Amino acid sequence: MNIENYIRDVKDFPIEWISFKDITPILSDIDAFNHVIEEFSKSLDWIDKLVALDARWFIFAWALSYKLWIPFIPVRKKWKLPFETISQKYDLEYGTNTFEIHIDSINSWDKIAIIDDLLATWWTARASVDLVEKLWWIVESLNFVIDLTFLNWSDKLKWYKINSLVKY
């Protein structure tokens, strides 16, 4: 299956000059959705826990977590988690934001796969890695549906294994 056929370009979103890669058409097609879950499950069956970034990826993370029979840990934007957290600020093309994770969600030295929809900038990926590593967890891989390779951000994350289903 060519998953690229289920990725929609939305011009000037969320701000002018950004061409947003919309993965919601994957959610509308059960075969495309299952394909994404199957492809990621092939390379993640040896990890202890999934860490997923807020919020679109939570839909996929739940299904992948269920298939692999491992816990999924949410990384949320600031003030969205109710218990004690650690935080990591990060840059965006159009501003800044902060991620948080519960401090008790993973044991030290757990093997973690971080999953997100898009590697467009390295900032969100780096922020999620920093959160995981602050708590002494081991980042085994970074996993994306889409990698915008023409931006060369994966070079800044080259010390981690990066998996992606579609490269632009």
CATH number at residue 96: 3.40.50.2020
- The parent domain of residue 103 ranges over 9-167
Half-sphere exposure of 135 (CA within 13 A, CB side): 24
Provide the domain count of the chain.
Answer: 1
Looking at every residue in the chain, the average pLDDT score rounds to: 88
pLDDT of 129 reads 87
Query: In this structure, is residue 3 part of a structural domain?
Result: no
Q: Which residues of 5-39 are buried (b: 16+ CB within 10 A; e: fewer)?
A: ebbeeeeeeeeeeeeebebeebeeeeebbebbbeb
Note whether residue 84 is domain-resident: yes
Count Cβ atoms below 10 Å from residue 46 Cβ, excluding itself: 11
Q: Report yes or no on 143 lying in a domain.
A: yes
- Do the domain assignments include residue 4? no
**Mean pLDDT score, 62-69:** 94
* In a domain? residue 106: yes
Q: Where are the beta strands (DSSP E) in the chain?
A: 8-11, 19-22, 49-53, 72-77, 85-92, 95-102, 111-119, 138-147, 161-167
Q: How confident is the model at residue 148 (pLDDT cuts 50, 70, 90)?
A: confident
Q: How far apart are CA 166 and CA 148, in angstroms?
A: 8
- Structural domain contains residue 121: yes
Structure tokens that stand for 48 in this block? 């202890």
For the stretch 13-25, pLDDT in tens is 988 888 889 999 9
Task: Taking residues 6-19, report their average pLDDT.
Answer: 90
Could you tell me if residue 2 is inside a domain? no
Mean pLDDT of the region 112-135: 83
pLDDT in tens, 43-59: 898 899 999 988 777 88
Residue 140 included in any domain: yes
